[in-house]
């Protein structure tokens, strides 16, 4: 037990330590003193039990040391100043006012977040004293540059989110943010972490639409950080992927009056309190040891250093949006963020502002047409018993291509070629969403309608009378086989049938038997297309693949682009997964093992649960693929296509396999340049496949020998799936 005298001395020492906070010289003088003494930042850091980066930031004036390091640092500088006084013409100016010690202690777990500070119009708010900038070895925005131009990062435009959209927390309490910034996080429990994030961290991102919502801060937990906060290394519930309700962390949150969403405390946990005064109180956690970052989308991002993880996720957040779950979830959330369902409107009677629907958005959940609903949906389950195999005349089946050509239809000229070469359409579903008109309202049933390509919907029509060259895939079915009678199709498919009939004067008429149409429509996905398309092209440009390259230069750049920067390669992978996953989420099926066939499930409550929009996008993508296949074939045959039918000559270039956005051709050479058609002046043939970086253009997917491809066809396998030497589905392609 300390004596009374020792206790008094300790109290006095604490007061002296507090007073010493004003004793630090200006940042430039700190650096001068260190260099005059011939000391390195690492030596000072070792003496003070601090990080070298922290010492560097003290010398830049970006951050200030906290007790007890502050008093020791002041003592060191005082001693150096006595031994190395500044020349008269370089005497330091008056000390700057002390930076408030905002991180001295974590707030109580049950305390509500502090109100946002009111910023004076003429001055930017100071950065919290505990902030520490650590330049990351992979950062594209060095700390020195950021210090010279504090307003240059996008996040600086909004002082509420001056530290960026997210942080990666490590075991020692270091929170790594985008741009090399590191914050000292004192929290040792999850409730304290949430409180600190909302009150001190200044993380988040501004809304993508004026009527939308600001992005909640995201905290990513490394394995060591999760352990420090009392979380297990692995979730025992492998089906529900969530902590049990009686886990101590869940109980801590409940005691602190924090709530969890319906998905509970899982790999992507959302922790919130009801909004107060219009201010959201929500923090998202991503827990790396629980596989929050799926390797199929993010590669080995979760194995990187915390600063590099922050860079990957921060780049994705700035170009797409702050991750809110899997890339599929983020893709769907981006649609809502860019086109919010509601906006503020003024009530004519009361004169107050109320919530009203946003024109051009999906404003409420609507039931699908029975033909658009999956088997387990109440609308379909009411018509057909479980296990019933619905026919094409009973269900809309718009899916991506999975087609191989009958090997008996290979020509002699094709069998003399040496290689099978695959080409892949860049973000095919994203390109299909461009300017695509989709339904915004619920379906309306119509008997014997007149087809209108401007009206989104599902149409029951017989397209079996449209006859194509048997070597071509049929454009109206996912398996590429000619339909046998009436079937349900989305508007883009029927519109393409009408285009073929009109262009080639085919002896067929489009006469729908019935339809489910949408009376309200619009290009709902256009903002989504533009934002993710720009994200894709910007990331490709950072990897050295730009739109100004020649075809040969493009192919060369694509051979090495992923090796140029593995972190950006992970961002690129995530962006591509965001496209496919987001479209897939439009028809999310029940996940719970407790779901009963024919009962509704939670996803149906979303305005964005729209299987008809998913069908329209996939239909448009498949049609785009077939149109280019046909144009490529027509550009390579010797004679024009005859009027009245689409039969191609033996010289026409026709693929041997299609898989979603990949086409495999037989070629004399191993490169796409060896077979893709060009005009006499060297430009790609109009309407055919074009090499390039933009969505809808193609890249080289892979090359194999002819005998390999023929063997695959003979065995009934799809060469497009394995043209890269791996399973394309496993690679996320």
Q: Within a 13 Å sphere around the CA of 111, how many CA atoms are in the beta-carbon half?
A: 14
What pLDDT, on a 0 to 100 scale, did the predictor assign at position 182? 95
Give the torsion sign (CA, 213, 217, 223, 227): negative
Tell me the average confidence (pLDDT) per consecutive run of 10 residues in the chain, 733 residues long: 56 51 77 84 82 81 78 83 68 38 34 36 37 39 32 55 96 94 95 96 95 96 96 88 94 96 94 85 96 96 96 97 96 97 88 90 97 97 95 97 96 95 98 97 97 98 95 97 97 98 93 97 97 97 95 96 92 97 97 92 97 98 98 89 79 96 97 96 95 97 97 96 75 49
Domains in the chain, start-ordered, CATH in brackets?
15-90 (1.10.260), 134-321 (no CATH)
SS3 call for 665 = strand
Instruction: Give the phi and the psi of residue 35 in degrees, each rounded to 5.
Output: -70, -35
SS3 call for 530 = helix
> Of 486, 485, 491, 484, which Cα lies nearest the Cα of 461?
486
> Of 166, 517, 543, which Cα lies nearest the Cα of 371?
517
CB atoms near residue 254 (< 10 Å):
13
Three-class DSSP labels, 159-218: HHHCCCCEEEECCCCEEEEHHHEEEECCCCCHHHHHHHHHHHHCCCECCCCCCCCCECCE
Both tokens of residue 526?
Answer: 């256009």
The DSSP secondary-structure symbol of 456 reads -
What pLDDT, on a 0 to 100 scale, did the predictor assign at position 104? 33
What pLDDT, on a 0 to 100 scale, did the predictor assign at position 49? 80
Both tokens of residue 496?
Answer: 């393409």
CA distance 636 to 666: 13
CA distance 398 to 478: 7
What pLDDT, on a 0 to 100 scale, did the predictor assign at position 8? 58
What pLDDT, on a 0 to 100 scale, did the predictor assign at position 721? 96
> Of 141, 156, 532, which Cα lies nearest the Cα of 307?
141
Asked, as a colleague might, if the bond just before 68 is cis with ω within 30 of 0, I would say yes
Q: Between β-strands 514-518 and 419-425, what pairing exists: parallel, antiparallel or unpaired?
A: unpaired
CB atoms near residue 90 (< 10 Å):
10
pTM score over 0.85: no
Q: Within a 13 Å sphere around the CA of 363, how many CA atoms are in the beta-carbon half?
A: 16
Going through 230-380 in order, the beta strands assigned E by DSSP cover 259-260, 268-276, 279-287, 342-346, 353-357
Task: Report the DSSP beta bridge partners of residue 271.
Answer: 260, 283
What pLDDT, on a 0 to 100 scale, did the predictor assign at position 592? 84
What pLDDT, on a 0 to 100 scale, did the predictor assign at position 131? 43
Longest CA span, the chain: 108
SS3 call for 323 = coil
Helix H or strand E encompassing 486: strand 486-490
- The torsion defined by the Cα of 237, 242, 248 and 250, in degrees rounded to 10, comes to -150
Place of tokens 């429509």: 521
Q: Between β-strands 279-287 and 131-133, what pairing exists: parallel, antiparallel or unpaired?
A: unpaired
SS3 call for 260 = strand
């Amino acid at each position: 037990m300390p004596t009374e005298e020792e206790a008094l001395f300790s109290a006095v020492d604490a007061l002296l330590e507090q007073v010493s906070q004003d004793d630090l010289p200006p940042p430039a003088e700190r650096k001068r003193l260190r260099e005059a003494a011939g000391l390195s930042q690492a030596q000072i850091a070792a003496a003070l039990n601090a990080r070298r980066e922290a010492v560097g930031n003290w010398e830049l004036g970006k951050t200030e040391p906290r007790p007890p390091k502050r008093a020791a640092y002041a003592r060191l500088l005082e001693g150096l100043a006595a031994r190395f006084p500044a020349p008269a013409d370089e005497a330091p100016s008056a000390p700057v006012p002390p930076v408030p010690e905002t991180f001295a202690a974590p707030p109580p777990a049950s305390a509500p977040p502090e109100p946002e500070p009111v910023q004076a119009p003429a001055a930017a708010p100071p950065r919290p004293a505990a902030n520490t900038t650590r330049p990351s070895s992979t950062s594209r925005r060095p700390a020195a540059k950021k210090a010279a131009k504090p307003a240059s990062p996008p996040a600086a435009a909004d002082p509420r989110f001056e530290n960026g959209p997210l942080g990666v927390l490590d075991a020692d309490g270091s929170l790594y943010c985008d741009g090399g910034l590191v914050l000292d996080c004192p929290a040792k429990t999850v409730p304290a972490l949430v409180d600190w994030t909302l009150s001190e961290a200044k993380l988040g991102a501004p809304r993508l639409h004026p009527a939308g919502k600001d992005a909640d801060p995201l905290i990513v937990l490394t394995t060591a950080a999760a352990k420090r906060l009392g979380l297990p290394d692995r979730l025992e519930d492998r089906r529900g992927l969530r902590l049990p309700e009686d886990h101590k962390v869940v109980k801590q949150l409940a005691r602190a009056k924090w709530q969890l969403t319906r998905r509970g405390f899982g790999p992507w946990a959302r922790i919130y309190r009801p909004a107060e005064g219009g201010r959201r109180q929500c923090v998202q956690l991503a827990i790396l040891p629980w596989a929050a970052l799926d390797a199929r989308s993010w590669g080995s991002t979760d194995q990187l250093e915390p600063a590099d993880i922050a860079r990957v996720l921060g780049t994705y957040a700035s170009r797409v949006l702050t991750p809110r779950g899997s890339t599929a979830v983020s893709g769907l959330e981006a649609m809502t963020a860019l086109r919010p369902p509601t906006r503020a409107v003024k009530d004519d009677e009361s004169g107050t502002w109320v919530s009203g629907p946003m024109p051009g958005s999906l404003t409420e959940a609507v039931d699908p047409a029975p033909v658009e609903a999956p088997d387990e949906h109440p609308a379909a389950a009411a018509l057909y018993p479980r296990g019933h195999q619905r026919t094409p005349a009973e269900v809309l089946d718009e899916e991506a291509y999975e087609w191989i050509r009958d090997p008996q239809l290979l020509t002699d000229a094709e069998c003399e070629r040496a290689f099978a070469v695959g080409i892949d359409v860049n973000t095919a579903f994203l390109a299909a969403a461009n300017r695509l008109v989709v339904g915004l309202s619920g379906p309306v049933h119509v008997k014997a309608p007149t087809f209108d390509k401007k009206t989104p919907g599902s149409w029951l029509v017989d397209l079996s009378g449209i006859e194509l060259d048997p070597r071509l895939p049929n454009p109206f079915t996912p398996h590429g086989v000619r339909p046998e009678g009436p079937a349900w199709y989305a508007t883009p498919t029927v519109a393409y049938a009408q285009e073929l009939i009109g262009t080639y004067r085919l002896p067929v008429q489009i006469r729908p038997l019935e339809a489910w149409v949408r009376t309200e429509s619009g290009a709902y996905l256009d903002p989504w297309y533009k934002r993710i398309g720009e994200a894709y092209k910007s990331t490709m440009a950072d990897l050295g693949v730009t739109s100004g390259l020649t075809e040969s230069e493009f192919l060369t750049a694509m051979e090495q682009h992923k090796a140029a920067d593995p972190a950006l390669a992970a961002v690129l992978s995530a962006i591509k997964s965001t496209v496919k996953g987001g479209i897939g989420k439009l028809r999310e099926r029940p996940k719970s093992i407790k779901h009963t066939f024919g009962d509704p499930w939670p996803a149906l409550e979303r305005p964005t649960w729209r299987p008809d929009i998913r069908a329209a996008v996939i239909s448009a993508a498949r049609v785009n693929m077939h149109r280019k296949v046909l144009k490529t074939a027509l550009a390579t045959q010797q004679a024009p296509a005859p009027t009245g039918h689409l039969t191609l000559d033996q010289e026409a270039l026709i693929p041997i396999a299609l898989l979603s956005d990949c086409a495999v051709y037989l070629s004399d050479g191993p490169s796409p340049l060896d077979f893709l058609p060009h005009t006499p002046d060297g430009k790609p043939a109009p309407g055919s496949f074009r090499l390039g970086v933009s969505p809808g253009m193609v890249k080289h997917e892979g090359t194999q020998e002819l005998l390999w491809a023929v063997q695959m066809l003979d065995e009934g396998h799809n060469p497009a799936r394995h043209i890269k030497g791996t399973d394309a589905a496993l690679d996320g392609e």
